[in-house]
Structure 1
Amino acid sequence: MRNLDITTLRSFVAVAESGGVTRAAGFLHLTQSAVSMQLKRLEELLGLDLFDRSGRSIALTASGEQLLVYARRMVALNDEVMTRLTDQAYEGEITLGVPHDIVYPAIPQVLKQFHAAFPRVKVQLDSSFTLRLKSEFAKGACDIILTTETGLDAGGEELAVRPLCWVGAPSGSAWRQRPLKLAFGRQCTFRPRVVEHLDEAGIPWDVVVETESDRTIEATVSADLAVHTMIEGTEPPHLDRIDHGGTLPELPAHRINLYGAARAGGEVQDALVSMLRRAFKAPESVQLRTVSNL
């Protein structure tokens, strides 16, 4: 009798759902080679090809699609058993503040891991702008916050330093136009630095979208009506990093900071802080695409 390994199935599900080994490895906190080896062993055990590797991206074969249905159920059942039998009955609520632009891809995975470990503790996610989150934290309305900023205030902890990058529509051409059309949030902390670098490079620009809604920005950029800037590694899948070949200025790095680790929050809050550290201090885990400059 051959037995399927839950750890291997978890890696298989992560690769299938994230669309690549690199991203899945980041979510699982494993190396790419470890995940690839698990997939290889799974295919050898079943005697089947689960992935179609003939294209630029990984796709599931018919057998892979069939296994995915079972694998999700088996992993979910495993997690349910572990939660029910090891639940230490922690209860309560933690308010976590995270800027809009770094919610994905890390935060959903952190929330999932935290819920599995502390199913009776509610995490109230407050997604907003850095300036507002710092104000709410100062008032005690948030227990833990992440920020994106150029400096670090007292009591904060730097998790990562990543450059800003230009993003646009897949195969888009808006980045070639002059004046350069920009889409920004009204309270975006990146905007002054981006405008400063465009002025220094002598590139005319025009803010065509100024809004409170990230969805509005993403829709405008996806339609190739403007470009935007994001912290490298946080681009949504429907936007591409622009490979401008030097025709746009290189942008400065920003810090991803954490505030709240020093507050007495007990074991539960400490666990959430540890998960956030791992998620953002880990090597960049997202497979990134670029808009060709040819």
Structure 2
Amino acid sequence: MEDKSWWHRFRRTEAFAGYTLISPTALYALLLLAAPLATILAYSFLTDGDTVTRIVWEFTFENYITTWTQPIYRAVMMRSLSVSMMVTAVTVILAFPVAYYVSFHVAPDRKSLWLFLITIPFWTSYLIRVFLWKVILGYNGVINSGLKSLGLIDEPLTFILYNVNSIVITLAHAYAPFAILPIFVALEKIDRSLLEAGQDLGESRLMTFWRVTLPLAMPGVVAAVLIVLIPTIGDYVTPQLIGGGKIPMIANLIQSQMLDQDNRPLGSALAVSAMLIVTVVALGFVLLNARFLRVKK
């Protein structure tokens, strides 16, 4: 009787109403996010079999030992991390001035137009945008043709495509709106009277930006960093097309193990290792940001 009465009281609480409201979303996330992650994690501890039995249900750490001890896997993992960090740095550094200009220098009635223009790249497929950059950077692409028509070069430049720099440029352009928007939102929340107070106290514009604007905008910067860093380290299309398949990243290696070599346990171990590295790097950045804000205070 007590259980029934407790359940009856609980059903009438706001907590129960909240759980009921979020339960469809929670179930959706559990089925489509947690279940695949759990499957990948389970596969990573299994043993690769022969051509008949592709997976042996025997628990092993061999896949992780191979992932972390084989030089080729470590090299590709470090390359993926370095490329992702370069893309994140370039994207955020270029996105901040754009977001700052729109927030502080564009008239309020025209900000929506600027945001509309910023989101125009979303109108086309990501794959199409990557192909367009391949056309721009190609041997007979827009840049080489333009430089040749101006008489600046005699032969097409070959170093602007199929290398790390071209991958960074393409990914930075693709993820620029994802970095601009959260920074813009953070800048919009800043009370302008705080900036005026800083200047009234004798601070220069540069010091006011460093001591007031930047710390208050850091939540947006952190969001932009995470939004760019996490997906770019696992990008598959850009290294394949812009890198010409010559500069594989971790996603290309996972695809090769999963599909080409049909070694799902090792491919799963690579995927889990990449996720762990991203988690550690992201947490490290968040902690450094928190320390930066404490120093500013």
TM-score (norm 2): 0.22
Work out which of the two has the higher radius of gyration on C-alpha atoms and give 1 or 2: 2
Larger % of strand: which? Answer: 1
Larger % of helix: which? Answer: 2
TM-score (norm 1): 0.22
Structure ranking higher on relative contact order (CA contacts 8 Å, 6+ apart): 2
